[in-house]
């Protein structure tokens, strides 16, 4: 039941983001309870694979003034802020917050 509620809440958040259009969202928050699995990850965009699909690597954020460190191999994620019909324009090296929606990793990063 809790998983269904979380999925519904995530779908509603994505719908709100999509309706917001080109408005810039300046903050993302991820809440997790003790013992729960990670609901979101900080990632670095490595390259564009096709349309709005990107190769990304999960990073660990360290102390202030230190660079994020890659802690995973590359994953494929979809940028929901870009068209599914055109080539993506997000620059490699960009850091974004990523989550999982169904069987896809997704993030929202306006270009």
Three-state secondary-structure class, residue 16: helix
Maximum alpha-carbon separation in the chain = 41
pTM equals 0.65
pLDDT in tens, the chain (111 residues): 566 666 777 777 776 766 665 555 556 666 656 666 657 899 999 999 999 999 999 999 999 999 999 999 999 999 999 999 999 999 999 999 999 888 899 999 998
Q: Which among 4, 9, 11 is positioned nearest to 101, based on CA atoms?
A: 11
Distance in angstroms (rounded) separating the CA atoms of residues 50 and 101: 19
| Domains of the chain from N-terminus onward | 2-107 (2.40.50)
Distance in angstroms (rounded) separating the CA atoms of residues 29 and 5: 18
Q: Which two tokens stand for residue 67?
A: 């660079």
């Amino acid at each position: 039941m809790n998983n269904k509620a979380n999925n519904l809440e995530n779908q509603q958040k994505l719908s709100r983001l999509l309706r917001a259009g080109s408005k810039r969202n300046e903050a993302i928050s991820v809440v997790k309870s003790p013992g729960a699995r990670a609901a979101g990850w900080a990632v670095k965009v490595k390259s564009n694979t096709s349309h709005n699909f990107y190769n990304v690597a999960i990073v660990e954020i360290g102390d202030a003034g230190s660079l994020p460190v890659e802690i995973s191999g590359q994953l494929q994620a979809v940028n929901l802020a870009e068209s599914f019909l055109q080539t993506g324009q997000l620059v490699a090296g960009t850091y974004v917050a990523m989550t999982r929606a169904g069987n896809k990793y997704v993030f929202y990063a306006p270009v």
